Amino acid sequence: MKVLANDGIATEGVIALEKAGFEVILKTVAQEQLVDYINDNKISVLLVRSATKVRKDIIDNCESLKIIGRGGVGMDNIDVEYARGKGINVINTPSASSHSVAELVFAHLFGMVRFLHDSNQNMPLEGDKKFKELKKAYAKGVELKGKTIGILGFGRIGQATAKVALGVGMKVVAYDPFIDHANVELGFFDGQTVNFEINTIPKSEVLMQSDFISLHVPAQDEYVISEREFNLMKDGVGLVNAARGGVIDEIALVKAISEGKVSNAALDVFESEPTPEIQLLMNSNISLTPHIGAATLEAQTRIGEELATQIINILG
């Protein structure tokens, strides 16, 4: 059977699949050519990340497809229930990239509270001429230890983010409409573990209590954070979105920054991705990355291995 990894797959996943007798095709087929390619080559498994869309046209017209796999958590780019209704297995890798996303959140947070995203631009330009001025400008950083982080969405990635926060010494408050409480196990290099029982609280309470807020929610029809939510937050709050573009009202975010409600924000995802709004890209109070939350070597290895295992279990 043939597997088309249209958006790529780690070498470890390829090796595992080939050992199990699958032919893995590492080729990126244009969206409009996918139906013909799948049919011409009798593809049994289509693997995608976020670039390729698997909608009804592919599902209805590709009878050889037995599995659609998403390398990652969110499956917004796949008509999941429709595919399953047609008898096609739809799989993803919900836990493989959780820690990678959590580390990116804290890369942004550490950078934000010490102005690294701004100083890394200005030091090369003016560090030799305005060293003292820059030193003064960046001398009012704060520590994360002892602060409260609010986590909106307390699934796997939200809990992974909580683990890093607890390790840093932060207080964690969380909201999730589907989770009442979670046992968060914090593991250390020597095998010791510490368990934290975290009960979720109403969203409004999280917004009011938090010094920093991190979003870990799926794509939704309405904004999770808009002007109403900003009004509930503390003045000078920090905000991170490494979840999905479109869960924050970006116009309201820019306004909240300009008014001092939000001191700094970090965005890894955008409403108009892959062409983010210029007012976001040019705002010195926003730390920016190009949707790389799961893009670590370790996460991609885990994703490839997890996809291979599921495929082999289903079709092997």
| Angle separating helix axes 297-315 and 11-19, nearest 10 degrees | 20
What DSSP string runs through 94-151?
A: TTTTHHHHHHHHHHHHHHHHTTHHHHHHHHHHHTTTSHHHHHHHT-----STT-EEEE
CA–CA separation, 154 vs 198, rounded Å? 10
The pLDDT of residue 298: 96
Is 244 assigned a catalytic role? Answer: yes
Question: Considering the chain, what is the average pLDDT of its residues?
Answer: 96
Residue 72 confidence class, pLDDT cut points 50, 70, 90:
confident
The pLDDT of residue 219: 87
Q: Are 164 and 106 in contact (CB under 8 A)?
A: yes
Given the residues 227, 271, 273, 277, the one annotated as active site: 273
Q: Are 232 and 260 in contact (CB under 8 A)?
A: no
Is 84 assigned a catalytic role? Answer: no
Query: pLDDT tens digits for 7-44?
Result: 999 999 999 999 999 999 999 999 999 999 999 999 99
Full-model pTM? 0.89
Given the residues 108, 244, 250, 305, the one annotated as active site: 244
C-alpha to C-alpha distances, 243 to 32, 208, 216, 220, 303, nearest whole angstrom: 28, 21, 5, 11, 18
Residue 126 confidence class, pLDDT cut points 50, 70, 90:
very high
List of domains in the chain: 2-93+297-315 (3.40.50.720), 98-288 (3.40.50.720)
Residue 303 confidence class, pLDDT cut points 50, 70, 90:
very high
Is 103 assigned a catalytic role? Answer: no
Given the residues 12, 114, 271, 291, the one annotated as active site: 291
The pLDDT of residue 73: 83
Q: Which of 229, 273, 276 is nearest to 248 (CA)?
A: 229
CA–CA separation, 159 vs 185, rounded Å? 9
Q: Which residues contact 83 (CB under 8 A, 6 or more apart)?
A: 54, 59, 68, 90
Paired with 212 in beta bridges are: 149, 238
pLDDT at 142 over 90: yes
Query: pLDDT tens digits for 213-261?
Result: 999 999 889 999 999 999 999 999 999 999 999 999 999 999 999 999 9
> How many residues does the structure list for the chain?
316
